[in-house]
């Protein structure tokens, strides 16, 4: 059974063919059609960035794998099993974090059993999802397009329990879709890829322009267009490429070879690539030092960069994901509070140790007040009757 057939079977009797609202925007086109830049197309941008650019892939994986592997505070066992399940072979949290970073939107489908209880959380591909607007302009359903077929998933079931959780980043010019980091980094990605291609082409030509053929007409002779075209074709076929580097050239009368070389400044594309890579890291919220960019990579600075990654990027993004999932699963797990256990994150060990020391030294606070400041539940008083 194909994936789309599985979805149809899971929602049999629950889906409705809801027409798309007139004027509904495509979820992966954000640019104005009248702007000078071409419209941002997600599938092409992902291929050029995540699949072809090492900086983008490393930045996304640092954030996504950090959230996917972060230790969680104790919660209901059934809820923890749902969160820790894999979605299409990938960690659910890791997949959602990657979608939010790249696309700006993440969709979690809640698959239910015959009794209407959740049995699986599945991360849908965001570029395949379209918001179906109701008469009031608010989302009433979500359309999932794959393999030429459309599955419309109602926002809620007959018992008002949600079928899908939509997590999105802030977008100042869109009511329903979030803005991803990839769009902001698109120009930097193009610059970085262009610099890498340029360097590769230079290496294929011995890392220098071979030189110039200088024509010195003698006795009033001139180079005819046919001779010029033939000479140009011979240079391209017989002397270009790394296999022909250093190959001797046989010149005809009236031609003189003028050797050329590029200056070190002309060859210094590392600065250009590093600047573009820093812009990419900035867009994804990753300290440049953590993706191997040039700089002062002492142990202390690396430690501070790792701490900044957690404080400024991973924890806020994880809180957004956990809050949305918790709200979507509230009908079945009303008291569940998904959160990262900060005491078990190695990068934050020094911060937590400092906080524990300060709280422990505050003698004017009671035990429950101290536990609340540390994010711990209230202390349960011992049952004296059972001890006696």
The ranges assigned to domains in the chain are 1-209+266-340, 212-260, 350-388
pLDDT digits (tens, 9 = 90+) for 260-312: 555 555 556 667 788 899 999 999 999 988 888 766 565 568 888 899 999 99
Q: How many CB atoms lie within 10 A of CB 366?
A: 10
pLDDT in tens, 204-245: 765 555 566 565 665 556 667 777 777 777 767 766 655 555
Dihedral pair phi/psi, residue 111, rounded to 5°: -85, 135
Q: What share of the chain in percent tops pLDDT 70?
A: 71
pLDDT at 3 over 50: no
Residue 307's Cβ-side half-sphere holds a number of Cα atoms within 13 Å equal to 11
Nearest partner of 291 among 53, 48, 42, judged by Cα: 53
Burial 194-230 (b: 16+ CB within 10 A, else e): ebbeebeebeeeeeeebeebeeeeeeeeeeeeeeeee
pLDDT band at 327 (very low <50, low <70, confident <90, very high): very high
Q: Report which of 26, 346, 29, 14 is spatially closest to residue 157, judged by C-alpha positions.
A: 14
- State if pTM tops 0.85: no
Once rounded to an integer, what is the mean pLDDT over residues 246-266? 58
Strand partners, 165: 108
């Amino acid at each position: 059974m194909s994936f789309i057939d599985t979805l149809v079977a899971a929602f049999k009797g629950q889906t409705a063919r809801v027409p798309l609202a007139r004027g509904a925007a495509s979820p992966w086109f954000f640019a104005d059609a009248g702007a000078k830049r071409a419209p941002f197309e997600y599938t092409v941008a992902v291929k050029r960035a995540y699949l072809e650019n090492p900086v983008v892939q490393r930045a996304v994986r640092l954030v996504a794998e950090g959230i996917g592997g972060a230790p969680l505070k104790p919660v209901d066992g059934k809820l923890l099993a749902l969160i820790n399940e894999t979605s299409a072979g990938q960690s659910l949290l890791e997949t959602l974090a990657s979608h939010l970073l790249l696309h700006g939107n993440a969709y979690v489908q809640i698959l239910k059993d015959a009794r209407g209880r959740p049995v699986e959380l599945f991360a849908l591909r965001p570029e395949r999802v379209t918001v179906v607007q109701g008469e009031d302009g608010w989302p009433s359903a979500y359309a999932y397009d794959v393999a030429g077929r459309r599955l419309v998933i109602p926002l809620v079931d007959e018992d008002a329990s949600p079928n899908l959780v939509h997590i999105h980043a802030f977008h100042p010019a869109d009511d329903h879709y979030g803005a991803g980091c990839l769009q902001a980094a698109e120009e930097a990605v193009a610059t970085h890829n262009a610099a890498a291609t340029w360097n590769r082409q230079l290496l294929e030509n011995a890392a220098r322009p071979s030189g110039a053929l200088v024509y010195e007409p003698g006795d009033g002779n001139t180079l005819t267009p046919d001779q010029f075209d033939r000479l140009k074709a011979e240079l391209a076929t017989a002397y270009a490429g790394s296999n022909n580097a250093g190959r001797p050239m046989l010149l005809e009368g009236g031609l003189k070879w003028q050797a050329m070389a590029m200056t070190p400044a002309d060859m210094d594309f590392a600065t250009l690539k590093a600047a573009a890579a820093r812009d990419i890291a900035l867009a994804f919220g990753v300290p440049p030092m953590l993706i191997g960019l040039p700089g002062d990579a002492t142990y202390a600075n690396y430690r501070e960069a790792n701490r900044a990654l957690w404080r400024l990027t991973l924890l806020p993004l994880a809180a957004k994901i956990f809050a949305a999932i918790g709200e979507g699963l509230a009908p079945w797990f009303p008291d569940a509070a998904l959160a990262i256990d900060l005491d078990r994150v190695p990068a934050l060990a020094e911060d937590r140790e400092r906080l524990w020391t300060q709280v422990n030294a505050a003698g004017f606070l009671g035990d429950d007040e101290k536990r609340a400041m540390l994010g711990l539940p209230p202390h349960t008083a011992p049952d004296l009757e059972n001890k006696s």
